């Protein structure tokens, strides 16, 4: 996962999706690649072709906010893509560029107590790589297929989705779950491109999964704070759950909690799952002492 390649491929993929007509430019000559030419992006952004070419070669060091603004407008970036571009520019600056292992991440006792107090909602805490670091009892019951598939290691969303065939049954919409997971990893790679654990994860998935490689090449980025997800749980069947994601800035982690629409069939099934979780005496913690 080379940082300059990330920049180059992100900018290239964004201009490839915009036609001259969409950008309000005349179309002329034979185009060897889809989308805008470099010169057209430079024109729209108000910068020289030479400067834009430098940026697209992967050199964002020292780029100003005004140029980033102009690029975001020219390439029609949404808010999440604009944030990703800013992250790529920030991490292209001077500083430590050696690959390094992340420090072991543990969930603070106060956060675990907060999880445990959420008795009616499945909830868990994860890091930017999609590792599940802690759950409450109902979260452990909901994600039991993923946790069991990890076989004692730290469960990871991406590994489960792309390397475990059982994920196709667990996720009610596997393609959407796969797209979302890769988009989240791309966003994390922009924020922290020198995280060796993240690089190792992406390398493993790229080597072992064609589905992952195809999605990684799209360079889509996304953050998911609210929404709905369908599940097919082996104990209670189909569930349609809403979710809210809350950042834990002091820890660099995210807490995700699920809920249901009042009076829905999924609400009844979630109660059934809670009963099953109680009778099965499901533990509430994953292996937070595992080196990540």
pLDDT at 95: 56
Range with the lowest mean pLDDT among 19-33, 90-104, 109-123, 182-196? Answer: 90-104
Task: Give me the residue label for tokens 């909901």.
Answer: 142
pLDDT the model gives residue 92: 82
**pLDDT value at residue 282:** 45
- Tokens 């704070």 found at: 225
Q: Are 190 and 221 in contact (CB under 8 A)?
A: yes
Q: Where does residue 62 rank: exposed (0-12), middle (13-18), buried (19+ CB within 10 A)?
A: exposed
Label residues 25-52 b or e (16+ Cβ within 10 Å = b).
eeeeeeeeeebbbbebbbbbbebeeeeb
Q: At residue 23, does pLDDT exceed 60?
A: yes
- Tell me, what's the pLDDT at 181? 96
Please tell me the least confidently modeled range out of 68-77, 84-93, 239-248: 84-93
Q: What class, spelled out in words, does domain 109-279 have in CATH? A: alpha beta
**pLDDT reading at 122 higher than 80:** yes
Least confident of 102-111, 224-233, 281-290: 281-290
Q: Give the 3-state secondary structure of residue 5.
A: helix
Reported as a single tens digit per residue, the pLDDT across 52-68 is: 999 999 999 899 999 99
Please check the confidence at residue 175 and state whether its pLDDT lies above 80: yes
Mean pLDDT over all residues of the chain? 90
Task: Return d(Cα 282, Cα 93) in angstroms, integer.
Answer: 47
Provide the 10 A C-beta neighbour count for residue 59: 15
The answer to whether 230 and 172 have CB atoms below 8 angstroms apart is yes
Taking the C-alpha atoms of residue 286 and residue 44, their distance in angstroms, rounded to an integer, is: 50
Indicate if the pLDDT at residue 43 is higher than 80.
yes
pLDDT, average across residues 151-173: 96
Cα distance between residue 127 and residue 170, in whole Å: 21
Q: Is the pLDDT of residue 97 over 70?
A: no
For the chain, percent of residues with pLDDT exceeding 90: 77
- Residue 151 tokens read as 């076989």
What is the model's pLDDT at position 180? 95
pLDDT of residue 35: 92
Is 284 a residue whose pLDDT tops 70? no
Residues of the chain with CATH 1.10.260.40: 3-91
Given a cut of 70, whether residue 286 has pLDDT beyond it is no
Chain region(s) in the chain for CATH 3.30.450.180? 109-279
Mean of pLDDT values over 75-79: 94
pLDDT tens, position by position, 140-159: 999 999 999 999 999 999 99
Question: What does pTM read for this prediction?
Answer: 0.83
Fold that domain 3-91 belongs to in CATH: 434 Repressor (Amino-terminal Domain) (1.10.260)
Mean pLDDT of 233-257: 95
Report the candidate in 123, 136, 121, 157 with the shortest Cα–Cα distance to residue 256. 123
29 band by pLDDT with thresholds 50, 70 and 90: confident
């Amino acid at each position: 996962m080379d940082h300059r390649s990330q920049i180059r491929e992100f900018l290239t993929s964004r201009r490839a999706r915009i036609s001259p007509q969409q950008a309000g430019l005349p179309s002329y000559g034979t185009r060897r690649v889809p989308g805008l030419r470099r010169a057209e992006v430079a024109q729209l952004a108000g910068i020289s072709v030479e400067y834009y070419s430098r940026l697209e070669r992967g050199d964002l060091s020292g780029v100003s906010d005004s140029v980033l603004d102009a690029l975001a407008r020219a390439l029609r970036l949404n808010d999440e893509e604009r944030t990703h571009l800013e992250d790529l520019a920030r991490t292209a600056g001077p500083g430590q560029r050696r690959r390094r292992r992340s420090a072991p991440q543990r969930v603070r006792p106060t956060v675990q107590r907060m999880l445990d107090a959420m008795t009616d909602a499945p909830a868990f805490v994860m890091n930017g790589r999609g590792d599940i670091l802690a759950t409450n009892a109902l979260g452990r019951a909901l994600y039991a297929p993923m946790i069991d598939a990890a076989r004692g290691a730290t469960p990871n969303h991406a590994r489960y989705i792309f390397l475990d065939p059982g994920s196709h049954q667990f996720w009610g919409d596997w393609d959407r779950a796969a797209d979302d997971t890769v988009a989240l990893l791309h966003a994390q790679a922009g924020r922290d491109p020198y995280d060796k654990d993240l690089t190792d994860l992406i390398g493993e998935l790229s080597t072992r999964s064609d589905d992952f490689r195809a999605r990684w090449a799209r360079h889509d980025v996304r953050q998911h704070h609210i929404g709905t997800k369908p599940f097919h749980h082996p104990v209670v069947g189909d569930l349609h759950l809403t979710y809210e994601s809350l950042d834990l800035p002091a820890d660099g982690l995210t807490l995700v909690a699920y809920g249901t629409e009042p009076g829905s069939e999924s609400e009844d099934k979630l109660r059934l799952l809670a009963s099953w979780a109680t009778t099965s005496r499901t533990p509430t913690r994953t292996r937070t002492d595992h080196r990540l």
